[in-house]
Structure 1
């Protein structure tokens, strides 16, 4: 009996323990379910928006659609930069099992160079695997047909039509127009600074030089977007929505491309520059840097052999001489010096000097260009016959501070602000400039003897052709200076609305009208009876001009003899001009590097350009080189 009771008690304890374990397990399960439920609630309700967005992002990808770049035309509507459609062989990496084998197989059908592979790899690193990436651009019709016949062998590969930039006139005006090229790290930094990064998604090219660079954001347009649904493997399934891109704005230039072609042809194979400006607006009619280059070479990345030809050439075709080349102005500086003499009261138009053929200063003889001198010389004769002695004396009488002050108002030694980046300042010499330029105290001192050569456009004087053209245009326009510019108006591609680039007067110089007329009349005399007379003989209009010859190296007292000097050491030839004389429509500056005398090399180029602009034809005979041996 006792044994049975003991057994029953043991069973009760076992049952109690079992019940306890069941309850404990139930509590644990309920706690776990509660935690799981709480977690589900947190994820599904509290964090719903967050995870919903992430899931949608994983399901949908936004693919950028690159806009059509704006067109550039000259003042008459002649196309200078445009876009054209061409076939491109493209691979969608996510649809290809073995990328290298696919490219190798394609290479047996269509020529794929090492540079094509490098470009593809770079795009692959930057893009997404479901995007279509070009492996070869600008396929020929034969290549397209060859691939089409074998397309079944290459899943994930297709031929597409893409837009490419083209410069239909090749090298014409290339330094003004510039070119586009692939975006590099520096470009990305510039884009980020401008807060335009979102607008450049998918864009491979950007303006590198000229107007293509300066007006990049206007020409680029607005990037469009396409929402694409993708699967877990990153493969595109279908397009959900599409926001079309907006084509870039179009540029209409002040440039006259026919005039540009005449000017470039006039240079031939000679190095130099020409800038022609409309005095009343500052609009650039022609901007020449010779030799030039073909911007089409750069669009898809220039070939090494083409770059070597351009980069290693002694003629430096990539240098924009019109804006970046700096040269002594030589005797083209004399009309501005004469005007400075009148305005500062150091000279009157009728005041004369006696020219013995040299100017003596501090025991040093500064020689005149004419042995024996020009005799009695007034201001008119000093410009027409280009008398050095007159300007040696004038520079000494004025002093360097007065010269620098006056020439600074004309824009010498400072950027003009033309709408192309990278313009050089040049050098307007002054005591302050010399202190900044040199380190040693003895080098920083300005010596009175240095002022003498400044008067004839030599010494430290060094200016760009566009500065010389701007100063000439300012005199022709009676002291009203406009900022040179190449863009006339910008057209919105959507609305057709034109935004005019209004002429911007930089300053109105308070010159006395009679002083300006004195200088202009003397410059007319240059082209009718002076150093420019042969080049402008028989012209059907009246023009003003001034020849110039600038030394490349010091003669050190010896006599200049062109035939005995290496070509690269010969003098530069310069010429400035405006026409018609009464109401100037064109003002220009020309420089021919190592061209010798300005009347011989530079003035005939100016005649060709002005003849075409005013008369619509090339001169016959008058522009031929002659035997003039003066400035």
Structure 2
């Protein structure tokens, strides 16, 4: 019996094994079937995913266009400089950047005060965090982190890192932080400058030799602006942002919609800003091919870069240098000359332009600090600072009288003190007696201009000591006439901003002061446009710095072919007749060349046959403590030659004091015309 049981038991084992084998067979069959489905039905899709690549594009900045003067002398150029950049691949983590920064710190230094001062407490905490992540995680409890997202957890962790932990970093470690700080600004596949100032040839060579251990880092050639004339014309040329600054935050929307990157350098003042779209050039466009891991497997230049177009400006740098020197010399002489009271001279400005085309030949502003005995060039105050010019604008007042019909050519008025009820007496510098329009300009009669203003206000029958009724629209009418010359309105100059001056209130009696340039204020550029309008016979031309835009010559010095030329832009014509304009021109000629002219003894013996108008405005300068000082503003406008003008100028020197007889405005005017005609003779020879 026993043997039978054992035999029966042995017979049951194969059956169980068969069941087990059958189950294994089924599982294996299912696996084979699944592999078949994957291979046959979805194989191509999965293989495509494995082989998938992505094309991304990046743009590389190119050098900006250059600026030249009218004689093709370089004003603003590009100076090649070594540059260390970082272009991160996709998916690069903070730990990866730190490792690259530590390696890069072995080959370059970031030890300037600016670099190290820019390392913040947060930068130091981030550096500590990356090197002590386990300890950092313990700074927050699990309960605290449950209600925070990852960003909140990270920021809160940084806050809890004690300052003591990050106070004793070495200089080398701070340099690593400075490098990583710049690397962190980089966007995927977009070059970010790590260092482009003072990169030594040794640093450049070391980085170049170790690029294989510095993923994303490149040693390349960058550029910086150079100025062969140093500070001369720098204010007008303007400036650009740095690579680290990039686009100003308040202008990012404007530039990003025009194809810029955030770290692009852009013009932020002067002509650099005005002609940004011309100077910027066309960036090189590179296509990067990356696989599914984010690794770059190929790159190709799809758009060749081209540096910006060049600007040929209207200025003559030799004349510009002379103008700067004239203003400095005369300003210093006037300040140190005695006698004179209430001298508060801060600056002198002048503009020189072609009255027929509006081309600005030179423009300058100079400030003088008598305590430090030094000058500061502030060229743009010629278009930003406005003051009362005095009698310089009497040509516009005379033509307003003609245009409004309140006076006729040759009309006379008796020049004696004007007494209007409840108003201080008003007069010319002396009682001139009977004067006509020529003589009123020649001898600078205030009273003649007062009569024009009164008549434009409807007051034709002046009676001494009687009130002066003036029609309400007189101010507007007078200013509308002045605007025809560019006074009190924008000149239209090709510059980012300009001042239009200050408009006085429409109060009783102000029209008389307005008529002699002692009410509203004007800039030197406005005065230059005004006198040019008279000089050229009545065309108000737009002043401009741009003469030509030239296409760049690849890999060559010099100027390329003309892309665009700037022609004369007549903004408006005077509403007065040619004969009336001729009378003002003759009056201006007498100012400079007639024995009774207010500038005759300065210009009559000059060979260039000049014409123009002098100006003195009495002015009260107020101080922050409430006190005031009576002073004067001196101006001068002119052009030459009288018959066929080729150059016009305007000069403004505020706060010259009282009691001083130093003719700073006349001396500057003579210096300008002397220099101009000398410059032209040199160029012709």
Cα 1:534–1:73, aligned 2, differ >3 Å: closer, same or farther? same
Match of 1:347, SS state, is coil
* Corresponding position of 2:478: 403
Offset at residue 385 of structure 1 (A): 1.5
Q: Work out which of the residue numbers 301, 318, 330 in structure 2 matches 1:258.
A: 318
* 587-596 vs 239-248, which moves further: 239-248
Is contact 2:59–2:285 with CA below 8 Å preserved after alignment? yes
2:92 is equivalent to residue 114 of structure 1: no
* Corresponding position of 2:643: 582
What is the distance in 2 between the residues matched to 1:336 and 1:379?
12
Q: Work out which of the residue numbers 285, 297, 317 in structure 1 matches 2:361.
A: 285
Alignment of 1:297-336 (within 5 A): 320-336=380-396
2:572 is equivalent to residue 507 of structure 1: yes
What is the distance in 2 between the residues matched to 1:82 and 1:229?
36
Is contact 1:87–1:160 with CA below 8 Å preserved after alignment? yes
What is the distance in 2 between the residues matched to 1:202 and 1:508?
45
Match of 2:602, SS state, is coil
* 395-404 vs 33-42, which moves further: 33-42
Offset at residue 248 of structure 1 (A): 0.9
TM-score normalised by length of structure 2 = 0.70
What is the distance in 1 between the residues matched to 2:240 and 2:539?
36
Q: Work out which of the residue numbers 346, 352, 357 in structure 2 matches 1:276.
A: 352
Match of 2:387, SS state, is coil
* 506-515 vs 90-99, which moves further: 90-99
User: What are the Cα deviations for residues 495-515 of structure 1, in whole angstroms up to 9, with x where unaligned?
Assistant: 624311121111222321111
Offset at residue 323 of structure 1 (A): 1.3
Offset at residue 231 of structure 1 (A): 10
Offset at residue 173 of structure 1 (A): 1.4
What is the distance in 1 between the residues matched to 2:598 and 2:261?
59
Cα 1:23–1:497, aligned 2, differ >3 Å: closer, same or farther? same
Offset at residue 591 of structure 1 (A): 0.7
* Corresponding position of 1:295: none
Is contact 1:550–1:572 with CA below 8 Å preserved after alignment? yes
Alignment of 1:134-145 (within 5 A): 134-135=194-195, 137-138=197-198, 144=201
TM-score normalised by length of structure 1 = 0.76
What is the distance in 1 between the residues matched to 2:661 and 2:77?
38
What is the distance in 1 between the residues matched to 2:210 and 2:286?
29
* Corresponding position of 1:531: 598
Alignment of 1:512-523 (within 5 A): 512-523=577-588
* Corresponding position of 1:571: 632
Cα 1:32–1:240, aligned 2, differ >3 Å: closer, same or farther? same
Cα 1:402–1:65, aligned 2, differ >3 Å: closer, same or farther? closer
Cα 1:138–1:379, aligned 2, differ >3 Å: closer, same or farther? same
Alignment of 1:17-416 (within 5 A): 21=23, 25=27, 28-29=30-31, 32-33=34-35, 36=38, 40-44=43-47, 52-54=52-54, 64-88=59-83, 97=99, 99=101, 103=105, 106-107=108-109, 112-117=111-116, 118=118, 123-127=182-186, 133-135=193-195, 137-138=197-198, 144=201, 161-182=221-242, 184=245, 187=248, 190=251, 192-194=253-255, 198=259, 200-201=260-261, 204-226=264-286, 241=301, 244-268=304-328, 270=331, 271-291=347-367, 320-356=380-416, 358-371=417-430, 373-398=431-456, 399-416=474-491
Is contact 1:575–1:591 with CA below 8 Å preserved after alignment? yes
* Corresponding position of 2:677: 614
Cα 1:80–1:598, aligned 2, differ >3 Å: closer, same or farther? farther
What is the distance in 1 between the residues matched to 2:183 and 2:547?
40
What is the distance in 1 between the residues matched to 2:550 and 2:208?
42
Q: Work out which of the residue numbers 483, 494, 497 in structure 2 matches 1:422.
A: 497
State which structure, 1 or 2, has the greater radius of gyration over its C-alpha atoms.
2
Match of 1:490, SS state, is strand
Offset at residue 101 of structure 1 (A): 7.7
Offset at residue 89 of structure 1 (A): 6.5
What is the distance in 2 between the residues matched to 1:164 and 1:472?
40
* Corresponding position of 1:545: 612
* Corresponding position of 2:173: none
* Corresponding position of 1:303: none
What is the distance in 2 between the residues matched to 1:261 and 1:83?
22
* Corresponding position of 1:297: none
* Structure 2 gaps, min length 5: 89-95, 119-177, 332-346, 457-473, 554-559, 623-627
Q: Work out which of the residue numbers 460, 483, 489 in structure 1 matches 2:542.
A: 483
* Structure 1 gaps, min length 5: 293-308, 435-445, 556-564, 619-631
Is contact 1:89–1:137 with CA below 8 Å preserved after alignment? no
User: What are the Cα deviations for residues 547-600 of structure 1, in whole angstroms up to 9, with x where unaligned?
Assistant: 112333179xxxxxxxxx97xx63221111111111111122111132358981
Is contact 1:411–1:471 with CA below 8 Å preserved after alignment? yes
What is the distance in 2 between the residues matched to 1:99 and 1:496?
45
RMSD: 4.3
Is contact 1:527–1:536 with CA below 8 Å preserved after alignment? yes
User: What are the Cα deviations for residues 161-218 of structure 1, in whole angstroms up to 9, with x where unaligned?
Assistant: 43221011011112221122326475366465256654x4596522121111111121
What is the distance in 2 between the residues matched to 1:147 and 1:31?
60
What is the distance in 1 between the residues matched to 2:482 and 2:475?
10
Cα 1:129–1:427, aligned 2, differ >3 Å: closer, same or farther? closer
User: What are the Cα deviations for residues 250-282 of structure 1, in whole angstroms up to 9, with x where unaligned?
Assistant: 100111111111111111064122122212211
Offset at residue 342 of structure 1 (A): 1.2
Is contact 2:318–2:679 with CA below 8 Å preserved after alignment? no
Is contact 1:328–1:463 with CA below 8 Å preserved after alignment? yes
What is the distance in 2 between the residues matched to 1:535 and 1:233?
81
What is the distance in 2 between the residues matched to 1:385 and 1:272?
25
Offset at residue 74 of structure 1 (A): 0.6
What is the distance in 2 between the residues matched to 1:598 and 1:206?
48
